[in-house]
Chain A
Amino acid sequence: MTSDAVPQRATIVACPDGPILVRGDVAIVDDDGVPIPRRRSTVALCRCGASAIKPYCDGTHKAIDFRAP
């Protein structure tokens, strides 16, 4: 990447009846501001509340038939 490259603007996608996809330069931190490990450039945040790996999605919304408001 060259020094004058423009960083990718962060985007947040609310997937229908699914998680929130986050791309780009966003810090994901806990309530105390401590960074939560981010292992991939695009992450899915739990929206149904039932994930076992919160704040990330583990697909459980499908098992509980979650419907996004």
Chain B
Amino acid sequence: MKLPHPRGPLSATLDDVLYAQPGSGARLAEAARLALESASDVVTDDDVQLSLYVMYELAYRGFDDVPPDWEWDPDLLHARALVEHSFERELRGRVEVPRGIAPDRASVAAALFAMTAPTPGPSVARFVAKRASRRQLEEFLVLRSIYQLKEADPHTWAIPRLTGRPKAALVEIQADEYGGGVADRMHCALFGQTMRGAGLDADYGTYVDQIPAVTLAGTNLMSLFGLHRRLRGATAGHLAAFEMTSSLPNRLYGDGFRRHGFGAATTLYFDEHVEADAVHEQIAGRELAGELAQQEPELCGDILFGAAACLYLDDLVGEHTLSAWAAGVSALRVGP
């Protein structure tokens, strides 16, 4: 993919240095400090979240014409750590984590299911099912594409950091995410099929310039958790919360696309998730997160934090999307 267009001084500095050879990024840390100081909210700041996204993406697919050694460049990693520290501290201060949960399999699974219990009221899924216009369906897919075209990848980082039953559980889920060995059935591939069915470009990274900061933050959160062994508990909790809030909404997403006349090939992604995530949520809640809490009790707090942070950012993205649509404007980012 191409490097995204800068959204402020830090992402502009990144744009400058990344086309040069690694080792030339001494300015990055200072630019990161300034960006963090001037951001009124690091969670929704365009410059901060786009920059973090770019720095993380070096560990996934990289960028056209950017030397791959930037991934491990000490100056870049220093700047990334400054942003990560600020982002994590902000989220830890903000999200509510249930207290007094015993670090055993049943208690942690029950706590996660309680945190993710279905709630009535407005949601993107209900809006998509009943009211979204064709244009809004496209926006919905574009917003989701920033994660869904690399679906499952951020959680996969945690596999070598786990042992025993939690490791086997994560591999069991991820194997299904990756299509059980069938490339066309990989969830990221099914999402691409849905995008093409809706007339969109399914190439990785095509729409990044249109993705608002809050949506980038949701993807960055997964990379933050996945790329740090210290945060393996948070990855487990994040995946559990993600799976537990997926089956029922995906039915509604599919209904929205069927309402507009899209066929089975285009809705397959959603239909697949209704069934798959009803399996995954059981494995993630009990075998992965629950077992991990039992195995490493000191991770219990991070497991619940990972889930709470997932839900918090999902809510922020949902509020952003619904408020834009209610106002009759695009939920995508416009402008430079």
Contact = CB atoms under 8 A, between A and B. Distances in A.
Interface residues of A, number: 21
A44 B248 CA distance: 15
B241 interface: no
B248 A40 contact: no
A53 B282 contact: no
A21 B285 CA distance: 13
Nearest to B181: A41
A16 B278 CA distance: 14
Contact of A44 (B109, B172, B251, B282): B282
B238 to A, nearest CB: 18
B288 to A, nearest CB: 13
Contact of B176 (A41, A59, A62): A41
B275 A52 contact: no
Interface string B229-273: 000000000000000001110010000000000000000000010
B279 A57 contact: yes
B187 to A, nearest CB: 11
Contact of B286 (A15, A52, A57): A15
Given A15-B286, A16-B106, A21-B282, A58 B176 contact: no
Contacts of B277: 59
Interface string A5-47: 0000000010110110100000000000000000111111000
A58 B275 contact: yes
Nearest to A56: B275
B117 A62 contact: yes
A17 to B, nearest CB: 8
Interface in B160-210: 172, 175-176, 180, 185
Contact of A42 (B106, B113, B117, B172): B172
A53 B180 contact: no
Contacts of A42: 172, 176, 279, 283
State the majority secondary structure of interface residues on B. helix
A23 B263 CA distance: 31
Name which of A13, A40, A53 has the most chain B CB atoms within 10 A of its CB.
A40
Contacts of A15: 282, 286
A52 B274 CA distance: 10
Nearest to A40: B176
A55 B117 CA distance: 23
B152 to A, nearest CB: 14
Given A40-B176, A40-B180, A62 B113 contact: yes
A53 B246 CA distance: 15
Given A16-B106, A40-B176, A59 B278 contact: yes
Nearest to A44: B279
Contacts of B282: 13, 15, 18-19, 21, 44
B278 A40 contact: no
Given A21-B282, A41-B180, A63-B118, A58 B248 contact: yes
A52 B254 CA distance: 13
Interface of A: 13, 15-16, 18-19, 21, 39-44, 52-53, 56-60, 62-63
Listed from nearest, the 5 A-B pairs whose CB atoms lie closest are: A59-B247, A57-B278, A44-B279, A59-B278, A15-B282
Given A41-B175, A42-B279, A43-B279, 14 more contacts: A39-B275, A40-B180, A40-B276, A41-B176, A42-B172, A44-B275, A44-B282, A52-B251, A56-B275, A57-B275, A58-B248, A59-B248, A59-B281, A62-B118
